[in-house]
Amino acid sequence: MLTLHKAGLSTTPALVPIDGTLRPGELLAIVGPNGAGKSTLLSMLSGYRPCEEGEVRLDGRLLQEWEIDALASRRALVAQQEPLGFDWRVEELVCLGCNPEKALIAELLDDLDLIHLAKRSALTLSGGERQRVMVARGACQILSRRSATAKDGGLLLLDEPTSALDIGQQQRLMRQLRVWAEQHQMAIVCVLHDLNLASTYADRVWLLNKGQRISHGLPNQVLSLDTIADIYAAELQLIRASPAAAPFLALRP
């Protein structure tokens, strides 16, 4: 899948070089305070901003060596804000840039609770509805282009996909991302501000601060009370419903 070897950026906004692997079938959360470099890292992982140090390889091949069309069949990036440009219907926007079967469009719309909006103009959607449509579009891009010989479902990169969603839709989206990761052996990377979503749904977490990855590993290892309180300069308390439950970080009154 995607591997990083001392990959970094030396010009502003800079990223200290890191090593890592994005694995098929898992959900990786990238977290950190404002200005930590999360979106910058996601841009480097996608290839939109080429690494200036080290290398990033997709399927063993340097990311900058991929032809645009071939790369689009293996990775999709959903940015924080994507201008629509035209008055697309939702079902048209989901399949923009690809030629999926109708069954796939219907499946993705159903997965993200968008079936009832299929004929609606995307310009009439709420921020949360539009955000889910863009996630469906990203998934459609790589799933519709997947070759018969592909060993996995490609790489889906999402920049703050839950920022405009209510708590119920946040839960449904994160659960669906876990289903896609397992069902399609897709590697999914989410930039998240909500640390409890990362703790609950991510297989691994990368914690960034000031352009540097300062910790990575399992959520309960990375999202420790002392580390998060220090990095975010916040007064927190740790709540755990049971020994087996994911830790929940709450603001201290």
Distance (Å) of CA 134 to CA 5, 52, 129, 168, 222: 30, 29, 9, 18, 29
Q: What pTM does this model have?
A: 0.95
Tens digits of residue pLDDT in 71-126: 999 999 999 887 777 899 999 999 988 889 999 999 999 999 999 999 999 999 99
Per-residue model confidence as pLDDT tens digits over 186-239: 999 999 999 999 999 999 999 999 999 999 999 989 999 999 999 999 999 988
The CATH number given to 2-80+151-251 is 3.40.50.300
Residue 104 burial (CB count, 10 A)? 16
Q: 205 has which bridge partners?
A: 29, 217
Every domain of the chain and the residues it spans: 2-80+151-251
With 80 as the cut, is the pLDDT of residue 22 above it?
yes
Give pLDDT, residue 9. Answer: 98
For 83-96, write each residue's pLDDT tens digit.
777 899 999 999 98
Q: Return the pLDDT at 91.
A: 96
The arrangement of strands across the sheet holding 61-62 comes to 15-22, 2-9, 53-58, 61-62
Residue of 224, 228, 250 whose CA lies nearest to 239? 250
